[in-house]
Amino acid sequence: MIAEILTIGDELLRGEIVDSNKAFLSDRLLSLDVQTHWHASVRDDPADMTDAFLRAAERADVVLVSGGLGPTRDDLTSSVLAESFGRKLVRDENALEGIRAFFRAVGREMTPNNATQADFPEGAEVLANPIGTAPGFMLPLERAVFFCVPGVPREMMRMLDEQVLPRLAKRTGVAQVVRARLLRTFGTGESMLDDQLEDIAAADDVALGFRTAFPDNYLRPVARAATPEEAEAKLDRVCAQIRERLGAIIYGEGEETLPAVVGRLLREKGQTLAVAESCTGGLIAESVTEEPGASECFLGGVVAYANEAKRALLGVPQAVLEEHGAVSEETVRAMAEGVRERFGATYGLATTGISGPDGGSEDKPVGLVYLALARAEGTFVEHFVFPLDRHRHRRLTAHAALDWVRRAVLGEELLGPTLMRARGGASLPGASGKGT
């Protein structure tokens, strides 16, 4: 079976919100081996919506429609879909009572326009929405079956799992299941990953996909089998091969982010972290403390942007700042050691650099960054140049610094991503950096 996904709403076409619904819906359909062939977003315009509905009905077996089921004048999905296929709009009394019950439960008055959410095309099966006022519906047509759900992500996600996928599973009658995993990597490019894994997951029953989400790259093995157990076994085998090949480049699996991984590893080892940030301006501290349980391993941070702050808060000697400058090996080393000592942390992590677009020189170009990690056995320092805009420069710096912490906790070599470019005699990624 092939599918088309339509998302409805002017706000999508104006760029006011990022449309994540299509990706979620496609991913869930894959679990039933239903391949999504088309994505489309449509304005709240009857003519445009009709055109999209008719086109989808001609070429897809399954059409998932998200949005346009609310009570306002621009929520047109039910009425336009009914008109597009010559159906009457029929009010469902059970759905209407469910909407009334929802308002009673939350202690709010139901306005008359909410009743329109109980109007559906003739022949549609109503799909319950347990956490919102807008029921969905399933409408079988000559070839395609339409599933319409709200655009609110949390309502859409729950209805998809509870209402849509079970009905779709009965209709597909597929003899195989599909399972997928997500491996998160940092430190090498997409093309290099593909080259390193050329002979892995080459069989027809296991496919390997690649996706870039700066500054990470994701690997997505997908397995097909007769049973869930068989599919999971195939994924276990392929993921083990990938991990053996790539090693520490893989930092996590599924939804676990790099800051979450760093926090978990520190807690497991009973270790702590403190950060001293200049060019990253608090990004590292923010990303670490965004994760639950951060208080068990993160002791604190200092955003020392000005030279005086580096001197007063971190103990960077004035002579070092005058002789070598704020962006230097000597300064970042003193920052890392100073924050580690002041907080009593296992690791002291520091960043300083020139994120641009101005402020560079021939000796210290825009994009130059120094990282330092202080620990009991010494301080590791390295410098690189990122040929990136300011926003991505700061994000990559923070990510690379956190990856050093992850590698240190695991006992791995502190390597720089191949996205970086070393200058001035500093080691290239993969070589030994400067430590004391």
Which CATH fold would you assign to the domain 258-435?
Maf protein (3.90.950)
Helix H or strand E encompassing 305 = none
Of 147, 151, 100, the C-alpha closest to 127 is: 147
The Cα–Cα gap between 311 and 40 comes to: 55
347 pLDDT above the threshold of 90? yes
Provide, rounded to the nearest whole percent, the portion of the chain with pLDDT above 90. Answer: 75
Of the pLDDT bands very low, low, confident and very high (cuts 50, 70, 90), residue 434 is: low
What is the residue-averaged pLDDT of the chain? 91
232-260 mean pLDDT: 95
Range from 163-177, 255-269, 296-310 carrying the lowest mean pLDDT: 163-177
- Check residue 421 and give its pLDDT: 37
- Quickly list DSSP for 83-141: HHTT--EEE-HHHHHHHHHHHHHHT-PPPGGGGGGGEEETTPEEE--TTSS--EEEEE-
Highest mean predicted confidence (pLDDT) among 15-24, 401-410, 420-429: 401-410
Of the pLDDT bands very low, low, confident and very high (cuts 50, 70, 90), residue 86 is: very high
Range from 52-61, 72-81, 171-180, 185-194 carrying the lowest mean pLDDT: 171-180
pTM of the shown model: 0.73
414-435 mean pLDDT: 47
Locate CATH 3.40.980.10 in the chain. Answer: 2-172
- Check residue 432 and give its pLDDT: 35
Of the pLDDT bands very low, low, confident and very high (cuts 50, 70, 90), residue 271 is: very high
33-45 mean pLDDT: 95
Please tell me the class of the 177-253 domain: alpha beta
Of the pLDDT bands very low, low, confident and very high (cuts 50, 70, 90), residue 222 is: confident
27 pLDDT above the threshold of 90? no
Locate CATH 3.90.950.20 in the chain. Answer: 258-435
**332 neighbors 363 (Cβ within 8 angstroms):** no
382 pLDDT above the threshold of 90? yes
DSSP bridge partners of 66: 7, 149
- Check residue 213 and give its pLDDT: 87
Provide the CA 39 distance to its chain's centre, in angstroms. Answer: 19
Domain 2-172 has CATH 3.40.980.10: yes
Of 362, 355, 382, the C-alpha closest to 371 is: 382
289-312 mean pLDDT: 97
More confident residue, 38 or 190: 38
- Check residue 291 and give its pLDDT: 95
429 pLDDT above the threshold of 90? no
The Cα–Cα gap between 215 and 389 comes to: 13
45 pLDDT above the threshold of 80? yes
Locate CATH 3.30.70.2860 in the chain. Answer: 177-253
